[in-house]
Structure 1
Amino acid sequence: MRNIILSIAFFSIFSCNNSENKIEFTPSAVKEINEIVKVIIAEDSLEVFENAKDKKMLCKELIRLNIYIPEKPKNGKIPPPPPPSFNDVSITDLMHYDRNSTFFKAVDSLYLIKQNLNPEKLEIDSNIVGQINFTTKDKEISKKKAEQPYSYYEMTIPVFSLDNQVAYVELNYYCGRLCGSGKSVYLKKNNGKWKVIEKWRTWIS
């Protein structure tokens, strides 16, 4: 029943012109998003600051996370999961970070789906996050096409609960054809400060 409701909501959201429904972040929301980026950099010890010993790069732009609804079982058979895709996550996985513990609540479901209307990209504010070794995805793709070494982190735009007390981000690291990894990062607000509460490996190459 929940899948049916979510499906209806999903299609009703996208039946309108997307340009009219794009989410516009308020200055306070942008600040909060950048604070989350700062927390993830610190808690994962990402050496992306300009004064770091082992300098790595971070994409200047956060990218949109696509949230999808899994297919319903057909004839009692559960359909196979879709092929691995970076920065796509099912609503089911968002709701339960370890398949047993609830992270987002049922009341958050429609709000999470609505965040598919986030902008495709959001630039990180170095005034909040700090002096970072920034790069762009286009620059790194150009290196890859030219068969030059590349190494960089990329984060998604956080998605939030309806009460703005929990958030989810995906962090990916790319360093070559057979070099890279990704993780899911779950955060919770404690006394007004964001804190990472769970991290799960999503892929490794």
Structure 2
Amino acid sequence: MKSLLLILLVSLSFTKCKNISDEPEFNSSKIKDISEIVKTVILEDSLNVLKNDKKTKMFCEDLIKLDIYIPEKRKDNEPIPPPPPPSFNNISIQNLLNNKIENQIFFTSKDSLYLLKQNLNPQKLKIEKEIVEKINLTSKEKEINKKGKGEFYNFYEMTIPIFSSDNQKAYVELNHYCGRLCGSGKSIYLKKINGKWKIVDKWRTWIS
């Protein structure tokens, strides 16, 4: 485990040295998977964001980057806790590698370097046109402006999916904001089953 963490630390240092021009572009296959995952989350998690839904909510047009970090150790060898809210969109590599779904490790040590490499994902990724035409879109900036003016807001924001090395598993975080004392977050685990992305588990991460 120590050697694995050492490798991950070296890899993390390497990714931090990359400049923004080195950020990878997603190929058409990856973009297709991301679009399918967005549709799966909207439909299977029953998000009322479709244009023909009653009492519809809004969905952010940009998927945002999920940062994967390696927890630092204190002198007593206990991990330093993650940053407090509102820094929701980050997760430790240890959590990704230790979480079990149906009593089985979801991401394995074989995925570790590939997971960490996804720290090079862009900060934002626009949702594809085929989805845009079917849902009520907004931007984080618009919703922040509403909040600043004391207006009602009710929207979802989703992270760019994190994939396993074989591209058969994915992890996303979904946050719902609906007022000062209204909101919640979920971690969502997906698998590609018979060529289709399916939610296999989801956990509540925060609630207001």
TM-score for the superposition, normalised by structure 1 = 0.93
2:13 aligned partner:
11
Residue range with higher mean Cα deviation, 188-197 or 20-29 = 20-29
CA deviations on 1:112-168 (whole Å, 9 max, x unpaired) are 111111111111114146510101111001001111111100100001011101000
Deviation at 1:191, TM superposition (A): 1.1
Q: Which shifted more, 122-131 or 195-204?
A: 122-131
State the Cα distance separating 1:40 from its structure 2 match.
0.5
Q: Please tell me whether the aligned partners of residues 126 and 132 of structure 1 are also in contact (alpha carbons under 8 angstroms).
A: no
C-alpha displacement at 1:177, in angstroms?
Answer: 1.1
- 2:80 paired with 1:79: yes
- Alpha-carbon spacing, 1:124–1:80, altered in 2? closer, same or farther (3 Å): closer
Please show how residues 17-28 of structure 1 align to structure 2 within 5 Å.
18-28=19-29
Q: Superposed, which structure 2 residues align to 1:89-100 within 5 Å? A: 89-98=91-100
SS in 2 for 1:176: coil
Q: Is the 8 Å Cα contact of residues 66 and 159 (structure 2) preserved in structure 1?
A: yes
Q: Please list the CA deviations of residues 67-114 of structure 1 after superposition, one character each: whole Å capped at 9, or x if unmatched.
A: 111123523444344324211111111123349631111011111111
Counterpart residue number, 1:46 = 47
Asked if the contact 1:3–1:72 (Cα under 8 Å) also holds between the matched residues in 2, the reply is: no
User: Can you list the C-alpha shifts for 1:25-46, whole angstroms capped at 9, x where unaligned?
Assistant: 1122111101000001111110
Q: CA deviation at 1:20?
A: 3.5
Counterpart-to-counterpart distance in 1, 2:25 and 2:124 = 12
Q: How many residues align?
A: 204
**What residue ranges of structure 2 are gaps of 5+ in the alignment?**
none
Match of 1:173 in 2: 176
Partner of 1:34: 35
Q: Report deviation, 1:56.
A: 0.6
Q: Take 2:133 and 2:200, find their aligned partners in 1: how far apart are those partners?
A: 23
Q: Structure 1 residues 14, 78: CA separation in 2 closer, same or farther (over 3 Å shift)?
A: closer
Contact 1:165-1:188 within 8 A present in 2 as well: yes
**5+ residue gaps, structure 1:** none
One-letter amino acid of the counterpart of residue 142, structure 1: N
Matched with 2:66 is 65
Residue identity (%):
57
8 Å CA contact retained: 1:59, 1:137: yes
Q: Does 1:127 align with 2:130?
A: yes
Partner of 1:137: 140
**Which residue among 149, 152, 155 is the counterpart of 2:155?**
152
- More displaced stretch, 116-125 vs 77-86: 77-86
TM-score, normalization by structure 2 = 0.92
In structure 1, C-alpha distance between the alignment counterparts of 2:123 and 2:81, rounded to whole Å: 28
- Among 182, 185, 206, the alignment partner of 1:203 is 206
Q: SS of 1:188's equivalent?
A: strand
Contact 2:65–2:123 under 8 Å retained in 1:
yes
